[in-house]
Amino acid sequence: MKIRVCFYLFIAALVSVSSRVEAAEISTSQKTQSIQILSAWARPTTGPSGAIYLELHNSTEKDRTLIEAKVCGTICDHAELHTHIHEGDIKRMRPIKDIVIKSGETKSFQPGGLHIMLMGLKAPLREGQKVPITLVFDNEEVVQQEVMVQQLASLIRKGDNEPLKSCCDS
């Protein structure tokens, strides 16, 4: 009888430990995966500035706001969040304070639209180079990714025919 009680206690302890481990795993994965970078790339550059384009997916039930993009100081002076606005027939880029990614939304940063602007490049971005970026969100979540430098032509997908606007190399 005593052995049986011990056995039940042992099982109960196992279940409790495993459910705690499970809970810890879930909270960790939610923390690290609430915003996913689906794709990211940067164009090779010739001028003093560059741009990073990506797709961010918010898999959480809450809206998230991108408040800052950081790039290593050996790559450029600093990074800014930019968008494009229409001024008459001309599209101009402008810095913006933050970018909201709604719950379940995939937000595309692409030429002629949202982008992460790299200001004061220390050296031209060359094809095949990887640029490490850090994205900071309003809930203090941080997402890091290495961004490949490549030509737009290699990334054009079916139905993705947004023409390239010269906004960031000038």
Residues at the interface with Cu ion (CB under 5 A): 82, 93, 117, 168
User: Judged by CB, which is closer to Cu ion: 82, or 107?
Assistant: 82
In the bound complex, what is the minimum distance in angstroms from residue 20's beta carbon to Cu ion?
47
Give the strand pairing for 130-137 and 35-42: unpaired
User: Judged by CB, which is closer to Cu ion: 64, or 115?
Assistant: 115
Distance from chain centroid for Cα 86: 25
Q: What angle do CA 155, 91, 56 make, to 5 degrees?
A: 40
User: Judged by CB, which is closer to Cu ion: 117, or 135?
Assistant: 117
Residues present in the chain in total: 170
User: Judged by CB, which is closer to Cu ion: 43, or 82?
Assistant: 82
In the bound complex, what is the minimum distance in angstroms from residue 83's beta carbon to Cu ion?
8
User: Judged by CB, which is closer to Cu ion: 43, or 64?
Assistant: 43
Using CB atoms within 10 Å of the CB of residue 39, give its burial: 0 to 12 exposed, 13 to 18 middle, 19+ buried. middle
Identify which of 82, 75, 85 has the alpha carbon closest to the alpha carbon of residue 125. Answer: 75
Contacts of 72 (CB under 8 A, 6+ apart): 131, 132
In the bound complex, what is the minimum distance in angstroms from residue 110's beta carbon to Cu ion?
12
In the bound complex, what is the minimum distance in angstroms from residue 51's beta carbon to Cu ion?
6
Q: Where is 33: in which H helix or E strand?
A: helix 2-33
In the bound complex, what is the minimum distance in angstroms from residue 84's beta carbon to Cu ion?
8
